[in-house]
């Protein structure tokens, strides 16, 4: 987490998007996390990766899902967002888009580094970053391998704006990790930004979102939140959720 924080902070002068992209790419390279290298395996023993990104100024968003041959899924999510025609691409169509745009591909075997660990991974290690730059611009990026033993083709909350992530420069940026189906059913990321809009501060929004996960759907997870003003906040009901912050 500290390496990812430092990677993002080193680029904060280039804007919030550059910062969150650098942080998430660093985490996609970490074999101990469930994103990119070392991500969990689906029911067929294959890694399928999802990622999402959003800028809060014009509500630009990009998501990619079911990737097997992208070295850094977050790079493709950013490319989809900047292309602007669509918000979400999946599977072979997403890979084709990546090849056409010169995004780094790879052998799917590169993602399997510790099969036993990846078979046991519970899928609560989705990685994410939120940032607010000196101009008040907000951005969020997330990347994940999903949940261990998932059905092939399963897509969780991480590539879906409003569920796993959301950013609006007027109010804040948020993302989550945990049981993706619960985040999807609650549209939790968008709900958190609405609460920021209603005047709640970041710690209260984070705590309330995790409480809702538990009380409404008996689900596990965690969130990170950054508002227009003040320090970032986080909350979780899982055994742990490592977080690193720079201000």
Residues that are catalytic = 126
Residues 6+ apart with CB under 8 A from 109: none
Three-state DSSP class for 6?
A: helix
Are the CB atoms for 197 and 227 separated by under 8 Å? Answer: no
Count the neighbouring beta carbons within 10 Å of the beta carbon of residue 93: 12
DSSP run (H or E) holding 92: helix 91-100
Q: How far is 215 from 98, CA to CA, in rounded Å? A: 40
Nearest CA among 129, 150, 151 for reference residue 140:
129
Contact (Cβ atoms closer than 8 angstroms) between residue 71 and residue 25: no
**Any idea which residue has 């490319």 for tokens?**
79
CB 136 within 8 A of CB 168: no
- Residue that the structure tokens 């067929």 belong to: 44
93: left (phi over 0), alpha (psi -120 to 50) or beta: alpha
Pairing of strands 127-132, 138-144: antiparallel
């Amino acid at each position: 987490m500290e390496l990812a924080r430092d990677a993002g902070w080193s680029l904060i002068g280039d804007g919030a998007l550059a910062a969150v992209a650098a942080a998430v790419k660093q985490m996609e390279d970490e074999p101990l996390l469930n994103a990119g290298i070392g991500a969990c395996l689906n029911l067929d023993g294959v890694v399928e990766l999802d990622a999402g990104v959003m800028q809060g100024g014009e509500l630009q968003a990009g998501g990619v899902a079911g990737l097997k041959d992208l070295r850094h899924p977050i790079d493709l999510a950013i490319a989809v967002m900047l292309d602007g025609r669509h918000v979400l691409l999946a599977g072979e169509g997403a890979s084709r888009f990546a090849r056409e745009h010169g995004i780094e591909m790879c052998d799917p075997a590169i993602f399997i580094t510790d099969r036993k660990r990846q078979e046991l991974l519970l899928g609560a290690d989705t990685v994410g970053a939120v940032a607010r730059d000196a101009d008040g611009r907000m951005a969020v990026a997330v990347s994940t391998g999903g949940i261990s033993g998932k059905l092939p083709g399963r897509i969780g909350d991480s590539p879906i704006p409003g569920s796993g992530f959301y950013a609006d420069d007027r109010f804040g940026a948020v993302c989550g990790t945990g049981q993706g189906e619960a985040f999807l059913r609650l549209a939790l990321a968008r709900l958190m930004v609405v609460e920021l809009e209603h005047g709640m501060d970041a710690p209260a929004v984070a705590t309330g979102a995790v409480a809702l996960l538990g009380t409404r759907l008996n689900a596990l997870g965690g969130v990170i939140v950054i508002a227009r003003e003040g320090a970032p906040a986080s909350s979780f009901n899982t055994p742990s959720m490592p977080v690193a912050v720079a201000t």
